[in-house]
Structures are given as structure tokens and as C-alpha cells.
Chain A
Amino acid sequence: MRIAAFLLAAALLSAGENDSFLIRNATVHPVSGPKLNNASVLVMDGKIAEVGERLQTRAKVKVIDGRGLHVYPGMIDAATLVGISEISSVRETADISEVGEFNPQLRSSIAVNPESEHIPVTRANGITAVGVLAAGVSGGFGFGEISYIGGQISLMHLDGWTWEEMTITHGAAMQLRLPGIETRRFNPATRESAATPFSEARRRQETNLRKVKTFFEEARRYQTAKQASPATLKTDLRYEAMLPVLEGKLPLLIPAAREREIRDALAFAEQEKVKIILVGVRRPGGAIEEIAKRKIPVILGSPFVPIQEEDDPYDATFTLAADLHRAGVKIAFASLGAQFARNLPYQAGHSVAYGLPYDAALRSVTLNAAEIYGVADRIGSIDSGKYADLIVTDGDPLEIRTQVKMMFVKGEPVDLESKHTRLYKKYRARP
């Protein structure tokens, strides 16, 4: 089946205009609005030109018959290591841990390997864009966390000959790890968790927080100095990179798993007057209302992680998304790693089983991420003017048994083969 889809895509390629076509007779799920039965999507020059139930066929474009198929916007993994981490246990294959405490000047985009095996594997399941982290975050698969400011998350298409072609935006958010009160610290050398007395851990947090605040102050002084005399100021790439953050243009992406960390992050945002996104929220407790009230978006890691506290309900990780949604928090799902990035739709799907409304689930893997990163004018839904990042499926993409039949990134048909399908075919044919 998948071969057929590829052949179809190849046929389109040879038709001259690669990035213009019409899908018709399909069930279209724009996400921004209600689903359209028996509808068409017209793509012109890589962008969505028109969506509707009665579109006129234009002579020049190829037509894809979508009978029995569904069209969705390509999914977005809001924070991932796809492209910069190949084999998570081999340090050399992962560019996710820079030296130094403050590295706002780093952009993950330029280290994304277009030949990474993770890219075809991930997109084969309907994911067309990812937010690539500049540093590993807790809850994900990374090597420790050294930096407070890890760098900029880049939003990348999962198709392109070079990272440049893949880049949607270099700076979608700035990664900030706020120092927390760590009374249970994992020591990677001994592979053991050592307990620190609370008062000591709090002192350590204060010291480290002062460092972070000092850095922000320095960046602010730089900002003022630059406004005063731009010509004489010696360029500092670190502070330069901080300017959009200070101007409120670039949000900070802050990992905050539990209530105290969340409140710390909210307080920091208030003090520094910056925009923030919370990532990796796991036990928000009483802070949920505060997150909602302040309209802080949340990027959720996988619900497929162990329960954190002994007395938590067995399904606490499954119901989290519903809890946040119910309170009015905008959520997007993220793999926070590479190996399970393809399971992004199931993160949302399983949350539906535990209370998240279906439409909200679908949004949480498409439009919400685009909105959180301020690129909803380009990706996230099937609306005219956006990139034609589309998937054509034989059913609901949040269901495991559903197959992605076709994929288009910026209107270009995308090969759904991967290392996995190649090995499968090779060894299936072994006599």
C-alpha cells in the first residue's frame, strides 16, 4: 500500500509542477474548523490555495482521488531531539549538551542532520514539523543539564535537502532551565540519587538563580547600551541573542515538572517581564489555575512515563492533558526525545481515552504548537495561505492501526520509506 502511495507521489513529481495538486472526494480535517466530508484541497505552489466541499477542477493540476481517505494537516512535535540525536546512549551522536551556563546564541537548526534516520521514521507517522531542542530537557532523553540557557529551539520541516531548506524558523523559543530546589539529585557518575537537605538545596537554588538574574540584567544593560550608542558597542553574541527575549518577541521555554517549579517559572516571567512556555509539566497540582489565568501555554512530554509518586492514581500521566485542557490551558504534545517521536499521535490519542476531548487532542498535535510558536500563519491547519503540509490517511491518525498513505511538505510529496521499511523489505525477501 505504501509503495502505491509512493508511486503515486512519484507520478506527481514527473508531472512537472511538483507542488500544485488537488485532492478531492476526501474527508478533510482542517483542525481550524469542522471536518468537511467529500471535500477537496487545492494546493498551488506549495501553499494551500483553497479548501472546500465544491472546488472547481482546474485543468493544469494533477488530481488525487481521495475517496475513502482523510486529509489532515501534518502533525507537529513541539519539542524533540529528532535530527540532533541519533543514538541516545552514544554521546558523539547527540548535540544536546553544550559547555557553559548561558548559551542563548545557539540555534539547533544548523546542527540538524537531514540524513538522520530519525527523520523518515518520524515523518512516516504523519509528523511534518518539529521543534528541535537545543539542549536535552528532563523527562526527555539527554545527558544531564549543564546550561541554564541552552539555546534556541528551531522549528524544522521534516523534509529538505539541507537544514536550511528544512528551517521554518531558527528561533521559535529560547530554552531556559531555571535552577530549582533539588533535594533529590541524580549523580550520573555513581548512578545514584543523593539526598540534599532542603535548606541547603534552597540556598543552592538562590545562588544559581542569582546567576540567571544577573545574566538577564547584563543582557538588559547591553540592550540599553545598544539603544544609546549602537555604533560603539562591542557585539556580544550572547546578549544579542537575548534581545528578542527581552523585547517579548521570543518566548522562553522553561522545563517545569512540578508545582513549585511551575510557580518559580511564573514568578520569573513576571519579574523579568518575559513571555514563557512551560515544558514537561507533570504534576502541576494547584498551579493549574494560575497557568490558565496567565494564559501560559504548556508543552507536554509523553504520558507514557512512569507515575511519579506512590500515591498518584495509576492513570495520572494519562489524565494530565485533560486536566490542563479543562482548566483552559493551551497544550501541545512533544516527544522530548527522538526514538519515540513517531508516537506523538498516540500521546494525544491515549489522553482522549482519559478525558481529553478529541478535537482538543487533534489540535494538541497540530495547530496548538504552531500557535504557541507564533507560526500559525504558516503551519498547523488546512487553511488557505499556509504551507501545504498535509497527510492523507486511511483513518484517524491518532489511532495506532491507521496508516499514513501520503505526505506533502510544502506541497512536495514526501517519501514515506525509512531505514525501518528498507530493512523490513530486505529481510522479508530473505529466502
Chain B
Amino acid sequence: MRRATLSVLAVLCAVMAATAAETPSLVAIQNARIVTVSGATLEKGTVVIAGGLIREVGESVTPPAGAWVIDGAGLTVYPGLIDAFSAWGQPAPPAGGRPAAQPQPRPQGQEQPAAPQRSWGPEDRPGTTSWVKAADQLDPADRRIDAARSAGFTTAVTFPSGSLIAGHGAVINLGGESAGEMVVHPLAGLRMELNARGVGGFPNSLMGVIAYFRQLWLDAAHYQQAKEMYDKKPAGLARPAYDRALEGILEANRVVLPAVTRVELERMAALAAELRKPAILRGAHDAYRATAALKEAGLSVIVNVKWPAKPRDLDPQVEESYRTLELRDKAPTTPAALAAAGIPFAFTSEGLDAPRDLIAAVKKSIDLGFKREDAIHALTLGAARIYGVDNRLGSIEPGKIANLTVIKGELFDSMARVQMVFVDGKKYDPAPEPPPARRGEETR
């Protein structure tokens, strides 16, 4: 029964799937349920889009003359959904996890053999490509962008990959002809990883990685001081050598650190305090147990909704620990716990087979008591706020970017479907749902 409906719809969608090029610049959706997120939900309202921005929203708003009017009966309009951590539009990481960018030459100019680079200390800037910006290497033709949009996402924060300091993420809108059009903010946050194994030589342990970060930050501060002194009065002073790795650190508005378990969350909270930049912890399955520490540290969290699951083909003699089982049971309660504690948080579809699976995964939390409005908030304004772009994105308010997700029914209902999305005021229809990807196969 359900499958039949789906396939009919798929055909319809295929017919409807169109580029957004023809969207008129003035659009009104009327008689729709409008979830503004920033204010009250309008049971029957109108939202007017003009020139890629939201012009008006309200219950008694009349569509302006000349507007393309869409009948919103049976539809719910949300601010465009935001995936707070993705790699959409970014090149695939090179095999072996080593950064693709060229390594920094050794400071003493020692001859390096052609053999694999080995780092001998923090000075070699291991696993660091802090100069890389997701915004600079954005590929608008990446098919993952279409898939995400079809799942109702209008915005993502996309990051380059790397072993330790990967580079700067960008807030991007998931529509547009060129990278330049898509970028909402090019410096969303600096992605840091703890993958010592991706580096040859130093560091090869977690504590080495943390020590490296600490030294790198000191070096950056020293570099800045040197530059300031020089800029003020260059005469008679040695010119500080330009260092793109340190420039990248200084540019960062915030840092994004991985942390899944409580121990990791608390550890990264401590590190974040030392780095003296606003920090976002991502992963956070165990955050329901760490709310006090997160709250105290004033951190934001990106919850990975690929909930821990029992490994397939597990040896029945392997006794999974209570802690493993408990985390598996309780991880989906983390969003509710974060909401209750007042910790800013958002979601990522990282690790899921397809972007649309994110909604189903969040639904699991909702079934366990997480409030729908909190879920919607985390997927829209909450995510925007974490990255400091809530003044332009995340809610349906006059003046904001016209990113809208229009759902037939309501988000998280079992029969809900993405009807259309607006990105920068341009309307996109969802592509037909592709056949379910096989496990482990990346959906690109």
C-alpha cells in the first residue's frame, strides 16, 4: 500500500523535478500552516518572498499583486532545514586520510626525501591544513547537494576533511549555479580532528594531538604579536615569516571538535576553554550525561543522529558492556536532555546513508519525549545560532533569506513529504526518492 503510493509519487516528482531557474522573484504561499520558529506558529498564514528574501509573513497578509501564489492548503512551511555538519560539495578525502594539500616545508629547510613525510614535532604542522576553506573548494555540481535539498535541507555547514586541523567550514545554501552564490558565511568554524593515525610521526597519540593544538595556539598568538609589532614599526625589525597554517588559526571564528562519550565531551570542553574560541562539540551521543559540564563551559553541540547500534555479525560470546548497552539505549534521549538543560544544539546527518534518514533518526528522539518544536528549532534557528548566522537564517521573519522547507503534512509525521523547498527564494521540487542505498555505500 505504502510502496504503491511512493512509486506514484516518485513518477509525479520526476515529472515535476525542475530547475528553479524559472521561479518568479515574487512568490506567496497562502493558506499554509507556517512554523516561523522565531515566533508563534500561524495555523493559516501567508508568507511572501521577494528578491530571495522573506518580505512578509502573517495571518492577514495579502499576496502582493503580480506574485506567483501557491496554495498552501495542507502544507506546512518551515524555515529551511540546516544540516550542521556535512561534507556536501567538498572533495572526497584522499585515501589514507592524509590531507591533500601540500605540506608545509620544514622550518630549517632540511632536505626531505621523497619518501612519506614524517613529522618530528609541532613545528612540522602535522595533519594541518588550516588554510583550506570549504567555501573555496565548493563543487555546486555535487549530487549530494540535490539529495539533501530533496530531503528538505536548504542549508548546510560543510567542512573540509583532514587528520588534525582540517580547515574552515562554510555555511552554504543548497542551491545556486556557482560556489560564490551558495556561500552564506565562509568562516563558519575551524574543523579539528583527533586522528593521530592519519599523521606520520608526531603526534601519534591523543595526548600528543592535544599538546600539538596547545603549541599551535601559542605559536599563533606569538605570530600575531610579531606581526602587530612589525606592522606598527617595521623599520629595524626582522620581518616575521608568513605562515599560512597560523593565519588559518587566527582567522577561525570558532572551533568544531569531535566528542562522543561523556569523557570525550568533558575532555574537549577542557581543551576548548584553553583554545579561547567559541567551540562546538560534535558527535555527542553521550551528552545526556554531560549536560552540567557542557552548560558550565558554555558550549554548543552538534548531535550526530546515527545512533549507536548493535554491530552486525557480532560474536555472541562478546559481552557488550553495560555502558555500551546503556549508551545505545539512551543516546536518542540526548536531544531532549540538551533542550532541557538549555544547551544550544543542532543535528548532523553525518554517517547516515542519506540526508533524509536524519528526520527518521530525530523522530526516534521525539518518540522518547523530545519535543517537536525543539527538534524543529535545532534543525533551523538553533543551527543558525550556533554558527552566528541566525540574523539571516533559521526562521521565517521579514528580511531573512528566503530559505523555506514546505512539507505536505507536518515534519516528523509518518506520511509527511517534502513538497518543495525554497533556497534564496528559488523554488526546488524534490527529486524522486532513489532506491534505498545499500548499506555502506556512500550516497553521492
Contact = CB atoms under 8 A, between A and B. Distances in A.
B317 interface: yes
Interface string A198-223: 11110000000000000000000000
A184 B317 CA distance: 11
A236 interface: no
Interface string B308-326: 0000111111110111000
B313 A197 contact: yes
Interface residues of B, number: 11
A309 B319 contact: yes
Nearest 10 pairs of A and B residues by beta carbon:
A183-B315, A310-B321, A197-B313, A198-B315, A198-B313, A260-B317, A309-B319, A311-B322, A311-B321, A199-B313
Contacts of A350: none
A311 B315 contact: no
A146 to B, nearest CB: 23
Interface in A264-320: 309-311
A258 B316 CA distance: 12
A181 interface: yes
Contact of B321 (A183, A201, A260, A309): A309
Interface string B289-313: 0000000000000000000000011
B317 A258 contact: yes
A259 interface: yes
Nearest to A259: B317
Interface in A179-199: 181, 183-184, 197-199
B261 to A, nearest CB: 13
24 contacts: A181-B315, A181-B317, A183-B315, A183-B318, A184-B315, A184-B318, A197-B312, A198-B313, A198-B315, A198-B316, A199-B313, A200-B313, A201-B315, A258-B317, A259-B317, A260-B317, A309-B319, A309-B321, A310-B321, A310-B322, A310-B323, A311-B319, A311-B321, A311-B322
A311 B323 CA distance: 9
A198 to B, nearest CB: 5
Contacts of B314: 198
A257 to B, nearest CB: 10
Given A184-B315, A197-B313, A199-B313, 17 more contacts: A181-B315, A181-B317, A183-B318, A184-B318, A198-B313, A198-B314, A198-B315, A198-B316, A200-B313, A201-B315, A259-B317, A309-B319, A309-B321, A310-B322, A311-B319, A311-B321, A311-B322
Nearest to A261: B317
B55 to A, nearest CB: 57
Nearest to A183: B315
B439 to A, nearest CB: 13
Contacts of A197: 312-313
A197 B311 CA distance: 10
Nearest to B324: A310
Contacts of A181: 315, 317
A159 B313 CA distance: 52
B177 to A, nearest CB: 45
Contacts of A183: 315, 318
A197 B323 CA distance: 22
Contacts of A258: 317
B313 to A, nearest CB: 4
Contacts of A199: 313
A183 B319 CA distance: 12
A259 B317 CA distance: 8
Contacts of A259: 317
Which of A181, A201, A259, A310 is packed against the most chain B CB atoms within 10 Å? Answer: A310
Nearest to B317: A260
Nearest to B319: A309
Nearest to A310: B321
Contacts of A310: 321-323
Contacts of B319: 309, 311
Interface in A143-182: 181
B295 to A, nearest CB: 29
Contacts of A260: 317
Q: Tell me which of A198, A201, A259, A309 has the highest count of chain B C-beta atoms within 10 A of its own C-beta.
A: A198
Contacts of B317: 181, 258-260
A201 B312 CA distance: 14
A183 B311 CA distance: 13
B114 to A, nearest CB: 25
Nearest to A309: B319
Contacts of B313: 197-200
Nearest to B318: A183
A200 B315 CA distance: 10
Contacts of B318: 183-184
A183 B316 CA distance: 10
B204 to A, nearest CB: 13
A17 to B, nearest CB: 58
A198 B318 CA distance: 10
B121 to A, nearest CB: 24
Contacts of A201: 315
A184 B313 CA distance: 13
A310 B315 CA distance: 17
A200 B319 CA distance: 19
Pick from A183, A199, A259 the residue with the most CB of B within 10 Å: A183
Contacts of B322: 310-311
Which of A199, A258, A260, A311 has the largest number of chain B CB atoms within 10 A? A311
Contacts of A309: 319, 321
Contacts of A198: 313-316
Interface in B320-368: 321-323
Contacts of B315: 181, 183-184, 198, 201
B95 to A, nearest CB: 19
A199 B316 CA distance: 11
Nearest to A200: B313
B317 to A, nearest CB: 5
B308 to A, nearest CB: 16
A197 B318 CA distance: 12
Nearest to B316: A198
A298 to B, nearest CB: 19
Nearest to B313: A197
A57 B323 CA distance: 68
B289 to A, nearest CB: 17
A258 to B, nearest CB: 6
A242 to B, nearest CB: 30
B162 to A, nearest CB: 23
B356 to A, nearest CB: 28
Nearest to B315: A183
Nearest to B325: A311
A311 B312 CA distance: 22
A259 B319 CA distance: 12
A396 to B, nearest CB: 37
A81 B108 CA distance: 53
